[in-house]
Amino acid sequence: MKIILLSSLCLLLQGCSIIFPAHNNSYDLKGEKVTLTMKTAGELCDLEKELNKGRDQNAKEKPVKIGLNGNACAAEGAEMIAAAPLAAAALSFGMDFVKDRMKEEATHYVAQFGKRKAEQNFWIFKTPQDQDEQGKQKPPAPNLHYAGFEIVRTTEAHSKEDPAFRMVFAFMKSNDGSALMIKPTYVREVSAKAKVLSGWSMASWFNWFTQATGEVEVNVDITIDAIWTDEKNVSHQDRVAIYPLALGNLSLDKPNELDQPDLVDMEGGWFSTVPCSYTPTRNNDSKCGNFWLGVTVTEKDPSNAKKYLETGAQFVSDKKEASVKFVEEKVGKK
């Protein structure tokens, strides 16, 4: 019954968007731009300071912390008046219209954005302060050149000063130095790219089965691909990191901000570092490590809108042939 009502309304209203209006802070597409930026430790510190500008004057707002240790700086009604073939054709067109509009509307409830960027200098070599067992100076050792990275989505309505979406990740070394972990340290969702169902609609009695929440489900997928040459001058390319992260549902009723203390229990993703191309010796401050970083953010409306629209489109498609045949028979007898 729900699907029949939904299909009928989509036809009568010339589409489904009136029945399923977007949340004010969703379906923000115009002028979209996505940036992906590697960050050194100093740049993460600068970003933390920038995010905290103006917060000192408002004691209710907690200071943002994005460092690993908490601080980065430390249709019905058709008239059958024509001949049978014309009436059937009109019904067929109408049902095709409804099916297509329902399918199109369903696609709006899932959206993706992201960036893939080629980078270099993942590592920087530094000479240790201590000496080896023979009292000789230890050779330069690899240290992280980048402390993490940031992805930002801006739109015409949300510039870089107040972006629609911002997320920061930090790298953490394992205790034995054999692996690295990617940890989320900051996320702020202001306006979603995906269409999220509003709690009010012209046909608001539909909300009881669509279950509008005013939230957006966010999932992030991160990949790192490395390229290097070995001591035999043979080139290699391999994916060294795959990190899927489910952030859960974020409210769009007001800017949703989570920092390192909020995300501390969120599971990180281990990866086996970025290899350096072979060279016999390394000087102090020399850099190495060529890689591609890819980040894809998927937003999804957790309500039942997409499910019912897809089910409705299939229902209309399945019933089209029988409905057209019925019209042909009934009108043809007049």
Least confident of 37-46, 211-220, 235-244: 211-220
Q: Are 275 and 184 a contacting pair, CB within 8 Å?
A: no
140-148: average pLDDT = 90
The pLDDT of residue 107 is 54
Confidence of residue 330 (pLDDT cuts 50, 70, 90): very low
329 occurs within a structural domain: no
316 in a domain, yes or no? no
Class of residue 235 by CB neighbours under 10 A (exposed 0-12, middle 13-18, buried 19+): exposed
Instruction: Give the C-alpha separation, 83 to 62, whole Å.
Output: 71
pTM recorded for the entire structure: 0.73
Q: Is 106:310 a contact under the CB 8 Å cutoff?
A: yes
Total domains present in the chain = 1
Domain membership flag for residue 200: yes
Could you give the CA distance from residue 276 to residue 172 in angstroms, rounded to a whole number? Answer: 18
**Residue 100 covered by a domain:** no
Domain that holds residue 250: 31-74+111-303
* Start-end of H helices in the chain: 2-12, 41-51, 84-107, 207-210, 260-263, 305-332
- Domain assignment present for residue 65? The answer is yes
The verdict on residue 187 lying in a domain is yes
**Highest mean pLDDT, choosing among 94-108, 250-264, 309-323:** 250-264
- Is residue 222's pLDDT more than 80? yes
Instruction: Name the pLDDT band for 214 (thresholds 50, 70, 90).
Output: confident
Residue 83 lies in a domain: no
Q: 236 pLDDT band (50/70/90 cuts)?
A: very high
Of 203-217, 286-300, 308-322, the one with minimum mean pLDDT is 308-322
Q: Which DSSP letter does residue 265 get?
A: T
Contact call for residues 27 and 196 (beta carbons, < 8 A) = yes
Of residues 63, 50, 113, the one with CA closest to residue 262: 63
Residue 311 lies in a domain: no
Task: Note the pLDDT tens digit of each residue in 266-301.
Answer: 888 888 889 999 998 888 899 999 999 999 999 988
